[in-house]
């Protein structure tokens, strides 16, 4: 049984510091599974906003295990991913389509038609319409019940880099140089990292009913503290989460090490 986390309440955010990342992953996966089952009992679909990268891998592994060992069904689940590089082939090694298939979708019983990920091979002229339709799909689904987030060193959520407006919606964005450097190892060098991405907007994220942000490691400690305790500003888009009525940070002890108090 995971140890109980230490709780910090800062600017209305419930920050939970776990001894190890695995305990935070278990907590989030258990909450997601409970939400899926409750929606099933109510005869409703469960709409999840999903993230990529190394941070949520433990959550996805737990959910796959629950499906395999406990019979957790994803038949009523609809998913919307936060973002995708642009341009990017869906079958490319760095593609978030491929990431989601390999780390979750191919291992559960979700209907592929219910899996939504921004498409990275659009013509430039088709991007705006795609983004508008992505927002419409979220609205038509009833909105996102729970949004899973990580946080970048720039304070980005999704690919909402510094300068992103609080009211921003799904759109094409230019990636910050720090973000591209952090992704360089996946692309065999920073010069190969795309300069653009399609991302849900800040407002799109804030419209979710619940938000759960995961952050692990000492390198995330400064931005976690700034996002939670700093003044709200588009220079650190994650600070806009302070406005949300149901947001929780789930951290390991290292990521929580610079929180005030």
The residues spanned by each domain of the chain are: 11-252
Task: Give the span between the Cα atoms of 116 and 81, in whole angstroms.
Answer: 6
Cα angle, residue 42 at apex, residues 214 and 15 outer, rounded to 5°: 20
Query: Given this model, what pLDDT does residue 1 score?
Result: 60
Task: Give the span between the Cα atoms of 129 and 115, in whole angstroms.
Answer: 19
Query: Given this model, what pLDDT does residue 122 score?
Result: 97
Query: Given this model, what pLDDT does residue 2 score?
Result: 66
Q: Is 161 tagged catalytic?
A: yes
Q: What are phi and psi of 217, to 5 degrees?
A: 100, 150
Taking the CA atoms of 216, 109, 112 and 92 in sequence, report the sign of the dihedral they define.
positive
* 11-252 maps to CATH 3.40.50.1360: yes
pTM of the model: 0.97
Query: Per-residue confidence of the chain (261 residues) as pLDDT tens digits?
Result: 667 999 999 999 999 999 999 999 999 999 999 999 999 999 999 999 999 999 999 999 999 999 999 999 999 999 999 999 999 999 999 999 999 999 999 999 999 999 999 999 999 999 999 999 999 999 999 999 999 999 999 999 999 999 999 999 999 999 999 999 999 999 999 999 999 999 999 999 999 999 999 999 999 999 999 999 999 999 999 999 998 999 999 999 999 999 997
The helix (run of H) or strand (run of E) holding residue 229 is helix 221-229
Sole residue written with tokens 């406990």:
70
Task: Give the span between the Cα atoms of 87 and 127, in whole angstroms.
Answer: 11
Sole residue written with tokens 């989030």:
28
State the catalytic residue, choosing from 62, 70, 161, 258.
161
């Amino acid at each position: 049984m995971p140890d109980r986390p230490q709780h910090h309440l800062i600017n209305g955010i419930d920050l939970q510091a776990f001894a190890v990342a695995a305990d935070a992953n278990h907590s989030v996966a258990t909450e997601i599974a409970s939400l899926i089952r409750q929606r099933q009992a109510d005869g409703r679909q469960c709409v999840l906003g999903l993230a990529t990268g190394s941070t949520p891998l433990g959550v996805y592994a737990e959910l796959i295990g629950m499906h395999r060992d406990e019979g957790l069904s994803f038949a009523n689940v609809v998913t919307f991913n936060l973002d995708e590089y642009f341009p990017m082939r869906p079958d490319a090694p760095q593609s978030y389509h491929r990431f989601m298939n390999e780390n979750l979708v191919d291992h559960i019983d979700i209907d592929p038609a219910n899996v939504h990920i921004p498409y990275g091979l659009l013509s430039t002229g088709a991007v705006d319409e795609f983004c508008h339709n992505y927002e419409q799909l979220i609205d038509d689904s009833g909105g996102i019940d729970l949004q899973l987030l990580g946080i970048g060193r720039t304070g980005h959520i999704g690919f909402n880099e510094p300068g992103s407006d609080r009211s921003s919606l799904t759109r094409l964005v230019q990636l910050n140089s720090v973000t591209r450097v952090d992704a360089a190892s996946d692309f065999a060098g920073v010069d190969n990292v795309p300069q653009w991405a399609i991302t849900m907007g800040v407002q799109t994220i804030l419209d979710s009913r619940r938000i759960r942000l995961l952050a692990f490691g000492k390198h995330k400690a400064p931005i976690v503290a700034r996002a939670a305790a700093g003044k709200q500003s588009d220079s650190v888009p994650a600070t806009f989460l302070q406005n949300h009525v149901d947001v929780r940070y789930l951290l390991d002890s290292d990521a929580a090490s610079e929180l005030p108090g």
